[in-house]
Structures are given as C-alpha cells and as structure tokens.
Amino acid sequence: MSKPITKEEYEELKQEVEAAKSKAARAAGALEQSKKKLKEDFDCNSLGEAKKLLATTEASLEKASEEYRKLEKAYRAKWKQE
C-alpha cells in the first residue's frame, strides 16, 4: 500500500504536468508550422513526399556535379590548365 502524497508533492507534480502540456503544445505548433512551410516551399504534404523529393534532388545534384567535373576536365585538357 502506498502512502498519500503531500500537498507540496502534489503541487510539484501539478507544475510538472502543466510544463509538459505547455511543451507538447509548443511542439505541436512547431510541427504545424514546419508542415505549412514544407507545403508552401516544396508542395509536399507529408514527410514521405519530402524525403522522396530530397532523394530526387540529391540524385540530380550528383548527376550535375559529375557532368561539371567531366566538362571541367575536358576544358582543362583543351587549354592545358591542370
């Protein structure tokens, strides 16, 4: 059998609960803002869509970087700049 808590313990627990509620509300607000920005900036409705877009963008970047390196190498070879 557990002993009853004191008024001080109750007040401390109550403050902890209120702080947790406040933190959860701020986190929910931040999540909504992030989702809104994701939609506005990238037209993504979910994290899954955003990850897919990121993967596609990274692949395009890698392809463009490789093409740049090839063109730069050809340029340097043509103009003897190494």
- Tell me: pLDDT of 82 over 60: no
Q: Report the pLDDT value the prediction gives residue 68, as an integer from 0 to 100.
A: 97
- Residue range 39-65: mean pLDDT, rounded: 96
In total, the chain counts a number of residues equal to 82
44/35 Cα distance (integer angstroms): 8
Domain boundaries, the chain: 7-79
Residue 2: which pLDDT band, with cuts at 50, 70 and 90? confident
2-6, 23-27, 63-67, range with the lowest pLDDT: 2-6
What percent of the chain is modeled with pLDDT above 70? 96
Average pLDDT over residues 48-73: 96
